[in-house]
Structure 1
Amino acid sequence: MAKTVRSLVVLGDSTTVGVGDPVPGGWRGVGPLLAAALPHARYLNVSFTGARVTSVRHEQLAKALSARPDAAVLLVGMNDTLRSDFDARRLHLDLDAIVGALVSAGAAVVTVRFHDHSRVFRLPAALRRALRARIAELNGIIDAVVRRHGIECVDLDSMEGAYSLDTWAVDRLHPSESGHRRLAAAFAERLARAGCDVPGRVSLVCTGGLKVTPLHHVGWLVVKGIPWLWRRGRDLVPYAATITYRSWAGLPEPPRYVVDAEEAVATSTTASTG
């Protein structure tokens, strides 16, 4: 018999905050859309903008566990790929600890593996290659954690409409209302696969969100887009330069963090004792 979800928690970054799906008074997004399909569930969203994996572990996890979740949605990691202090092994330890704690608490957990964001937000070639390499490392870690804990995962790269312009908000960094609805529907489907009763459905018909005009696009580019690209570009430049130089010199790209069986065991031990 399917499990009734009486407590749903959402952890993560600005996407799970709902950025990109504006409604009067603030953001809506994937959390409320998913919660509406689970009418018996108390809903708690502990996510905040700018969160990284370590933020979720040390600032969000305890609050989520206090809600005694039957189901948990976790979407985090993209902010890590955009920073110069990216540490794949640390990220693996933190992600494994987060998922392990939620599963141990009895929650059905759904997370995501990421798409090629450079196909949505255009970047110079060197930065594009650097970002793709980081996302590949992140996805390898996510895959390992998903396998070890037996949780469900939404593959954003293969999700229908993942690279359609109407899936993305004006900033091309966050889902639009349509994108949030697609994501919420995918989460609902995975929770059902995990044995949860999902009585409602997430409609893909956009309604209630604020209309975004061409003026919004121009305004965002000038006020937010160019400054954001400058900040994140500077952060990734050393790594991108290394990739570019190695390519020019005929050298292999910088080694990536690879999770093997021995590393997975070490990670598990450290996460459980850390």
Structure 2
Amino acid sequence: MPHLQETLDISSYAALGDSFTEGLNDPGVDGAFAGWADRLAGLLAAGRPQNRFRYANLAVRGRLLDQIAAEQVPQVERLQPDLVTFCAGGNDILRPGSDPDEVAVRFEAAVARLAANAGTVLICTGFDTREMTLLKHLRGKVATYNGHMRAVADRYDCKVADLWSLRSVQDRQAWSEDRLHLSPEGHQRVALLAARSLGLRTEQDPEAPWPAAPVLSPADQARENIQWAREHLIPWVGRRLRGESSGDHVEAKRPDLLPL
């Protein structure tokens, strides 16, 4: 059975962020999305007496860093959890003309507040986007932002889940049909990485080989790309042009620390 090292005792956990931490596109048993943070909570709770582990997930899809700092960070001051995971800034980096140096300054301000109100803070670096159709041109900006986040983690003694170095998520099977959000198994790989970053021993390996996937012919690949553009790319671009967010009118799925 997995267990934490004796130096890290976690009985309450609050997850902050955007769609990545909310859990798109990992369907949960109750109709809400699950995702890597829910899966991490399950690993942390394993082996504890019933109702001795509490979990909150404040993440909302589409949220920018300043929105997370204004809406979610103050809740941590109220909740005072043993652990906070803070994955934010990705939606800012996606925006044309964004400056990763400037985003990192605001990121550090939020981390400083979190570090004062949580026992442990874990941050996630950005993914390596070299294989991501929509985002490969942002690879340099993501790498720059990652460098800043690692420096912030050092200054505030944060744990780091290094998604950039997680080779398994370079596989197409780690991503859902929209190519922007993880698949259920992709979320599981991130949960395992986060757990190990906290010192949790896990039986499963986040870098375990993927099962063999069918190889698409060029014609089938072209049809898949056309379908993806119609169902996911065009609506995404439309929302950007209209100034809309996928998180408009969406509330946190688990706003309070409750037994898992």
Counterpart of 1:65?
Answer: 77
- Aligned counterpart in structure 1 of residue 12 of structure 2, from 7, 17, 22: 7
| CA drift at 1:136 | 2.5
With 56-65 and 111-120 compared, the bigger mean Cα shift is at 111-120
Q: CA–CA distance in 1 between the matches of 2:163 and 2:241?
A: 24
Q: Deviations over 1:119-155 (max 9, x none)?
A: 12x14xxx743x1232123112212211211211122
Question: Equivalent residue of 2:96, what SS?
Answer: coil
Question: Equivalent residue of 2:148, what SS?
Answer: helix
| CA drift at 1:23 | 3.3
Stretches of structure 1 that go unaligned for 5 or more consecutive residues are 193-197, 206-213, 236-274
Task: Please report the TM-score for the alignment, with normalisation by the length of structure 1.
Answer: 0.69
Q: Name the structure with the higher helix share.
A: 1
Code of the aligned partner of 1:226: I
**CA 1:32–1:203 in 2, change beyond 3 Å: closer, same or farther?**
farther
Please report the RMSD computed on the Cα atoms of aligned residues, expressed in angstroms: 3.1
**CA 1:154–1:147 in 2, change beyond 3 Å: closer, same or farther?**
same
| CA drift at 1:180 | 0.6
Kept in 2, the 8 Å contact 1:110–1:152? The answer is yes
Instruction: Summarize the alignment of residues 252-263 of structure 1 with structure 2, pairs less than 5 Å apart.
Output: none
Counterpart of 2:190?
Answer: 183
Q: Deviations over 1:89-135 (max 9, x none)?
A: 44223211221122222421111111232412x14xxx743x12321
Aligned length: 217
Counterpart of 1:143?
Answer: 150
Q: Deviations over 1:71-96 (max 9, x none)?
A: 11111222111113524344223211
Q: CA–CA distance in 2 between the matches of 1:230 and 1:84?
A: 15
Code of the aligned partner of 1:33: R
Kept in 1, the 8 Å contact 2:22–2:33? The answer is yes
Stretches of structure 2 that go unaligned for 5 or more consecutive residues are 1-5, 46-51, 209-219, 244-260
| Largest Rg, 1 or 2 | 1
Q: CA–CA distance in 1 between the matches of 2:36 and 2:159?
A: 17
Counterpart of 2:255?
Answer: none
Kept in 2, the 8 Å contact 1:29–1:177? The answer is yes
| CA drift at 1:232 | 6.0
Kept in 2, the 8 Å contact 1:83–1:232? The answer is no
Q: CA–CA distance in 1 between the matches of 2:237 and 2:128?
A: 17
**CA 1:11–1:161 in 2, change beyond 3 Å: closer, same or farther?**
same
Instruction: Summarize the alignment of residues 1-274 of structure 1 with structure 2, pairs less than 5 Å apart.
Output: 1-24=6-29, 25-39=31-45, 40-84=52-96, 86-120=98-132, 122-123=133-134, 128-129=136-137, 131-192=138-199, 198=200, 221-229=229-237
Task: Please report the TM-score for the alignment, with normalisation by the length of structure 2.
Answer: 0.73
Kept in 2, the 8 Å contact 1:54–1:91? The answer is no
Q: CA–CA distance in 2 between the matches of 1:224 and 1:26?
A: 20
Q: Deviations over 1:38-70 (max 9, x none)?
A: 223210111101112212211110112211110
